[in-house]
Chain A
Amino acid sequence: MKSTLVQTENATLKVAENEVTAVLIHLKKLLRIKNQLCSPLLRLPTETIVRILSYIVEAVERPRIWQPILSTYHQIHTTMCTAEELWWKVNCMRAKVAMFTFMRSEGNPQVITACFDP
């Protein structure tokens, strides 16, 4: 009975150790991202999002930002531009975005909203 209890305790400890290790890995990743976001070129999360979006819609060709972040932008950009399904809805209220969406959907959107109110 005693040896069974010890085995159970050991197994529990092993599981706990694995979980702690996994958490540590995640924390390190989060810390790295936090450090990147603390870059003097990118102080605020909002600014980061705006920059990512600007880069994706190609409003900014060569943003002056830290290389790892630019690399991340580039990956997101490539992924989104090749995902035709993302560009399914065109709202012509924003002409530039609408044209971009038309282009990304290869002229083949699923929903078009156009309001020509004066």
Chain B
Amino acid sequence: MIRSTAGGTNGAGRRGALDYWRDEQALHGHRLHTLELSGALSDIARFSWIFERPLPRLHRLRIGFFGPLDNDPDQSQLPVPAPLALQLPVDLPLQALDLTNATLPWSSNLFAGLRELRMDFKSCEAVVDISADELLGVFDASPQLESLSLIQVRPRIPVRNGQPQYAPTRIAQLPNLASLKLDNSPEYASYTLSHMNIPAIDSLEIRFHVVPSELSRSLRFLLPNHRLPNRLFSNPPEFEIRITDDDGSLNLMYATIGGFKLHFDFGFDEEEAIRDAISTCVPPVIPPFAAILKLDNLKLSEEEWREFLRSHPEVHSIKFANSSVSKSLWDALSPTGTDAVPLCPKLESVLLFCGPETSSSLRGCLLNRKNAGFRLRCLEVEGLDDKLVEEFCLLVEELQVIDAPDDSFNPFSVRPILMNELGFHALTALTPNRNTIAAQGLIATST
């Protein structure tokens, strides 16, 4: 019945399945709507014949080429020297096109009518560039585009009198584009952005490699300009910054403002230089109307925190990932004798991991804010021992103790505080009228 000798899961077997389709079947392809093909550059001959037949319903096409395996113990994949120029029939009714290390002529009809386009040349040694006119041609051909990813597609920035000209010659209208992902240096990403009007955008993600000394300049290129609509910034506006470590060194930073995401890759620069660059460049770019802050590994001095909090009076919620929070923040939030109103007067809730090194400064901060009439409404805290639970529940309206350390914020890991877990002093401080244990047993409250 099946006469092919192909078998198993090796490459020859997989090629055998397609060969079987070509050789043994009355190949029609008239029902084919999705085709995903990937392999080495030399594999193109193994499937190019598919496009010799009519494919009248082909809506989704993904073609990707990958470099050969290295001989190292990890068998990592080597880059592709140059992308493969595809020759595809121009009458395919494509709606989604995904190319990795493969190109089409920029003027190809296949770009017309697309709703999703992704082009990825990250693992390609050669630079894939596009002129402004070609870029506009692609956008003009696909006015219905809803999702666009351009990964290492470099626009050619014109130079006049030795100076790069970043101003666009024309702006294309992409009224339905909701998701845009750019992976390129800030200049190229910004130049690409400047050529499109995207009123429906919900998610804008930009990734790039940066050295610490260039961070400030990069941010100036990338911050959403006045043409980007307010819908990128959710209401209440939320700002998140995560600085993560890979192999023990901080090298990735994720900054999120509503639907706008920036991914910085610092490579192998020194940690101190990265920290300095972040603490200098990032706080000033956080929108002054930010109301929710999600912070991880952002370490500033007390004075830097004061300066930042002074310029962000709308902050009502601060959430920290599981890394410990520097003492300097609590010292900054703690009102001093001269402050009539403490910084962040609207601060209502804080979520954090409370290590022993920060508990005393946090306690002092909460006590001072309470005495000044700015008692915290809700404190969600992880890593609190029983003694601290007793103390903290007197300083805030609601205390939620989060059990089990986790790498992420997990609201479902809230552990109930049971009555018998509260010490004698805490219990006697509660009175039935003014202070209650919430009905669910989740929250210990006091006023």
Contacts and interface: CB of A to CB of B under 8 A. Distances in A.
A22 to B, nearest CB: 42
A80 B312 CA distance: 64
Interface stretch (A1-9, A45-53, A106-114): A106-114
B8 A95 contact: yes
B31 A109 contact: yes
B14 A92 contact: yes
A114 B28 CA distance: 18
B40 A92 contact: no
Contact of B32 (A95, A98, A109): A109
Contacts of A107: 21, 24-28
A64 interface: no
Interface in A67-118: 88, 90, 92-96, 98-100, 102-103, 106-118
A108 B25 CA distance: 9
Interface residues of B, number: 39
B7 interface: yes
A116 B39 CA distance: 4
Given A95-B8, A96-B7, A103-B1, A114 B31 contact: no
Contacts of A108: 28-32
Question: Could you say which of B17, B30, B31 has the most chain A C-beta atoms within 10 Å of its C-beta?
Answer: B17
A19 interface: no
A58 interface: yes
A118 B9 contact: no
Contacts of B28: 107-108
A92 B19 CA distance: 11
Interface of B: 1-2, 4, 6-9, 11, 13-18, 20-21, 24-40, 43, 46-47, 66, 68-69
20 contacts: A58-B1, A90-B21, A95-B13, A95-B16, A96-B7, A98-B20, A102-B17, A102-B25, A107-B25, A107-B27, A108-B30, A109-B32, A110-B31, A111-B33, A114-B17, A114-B38, A115-B14, A115-B38, A116-B39, A118-B11
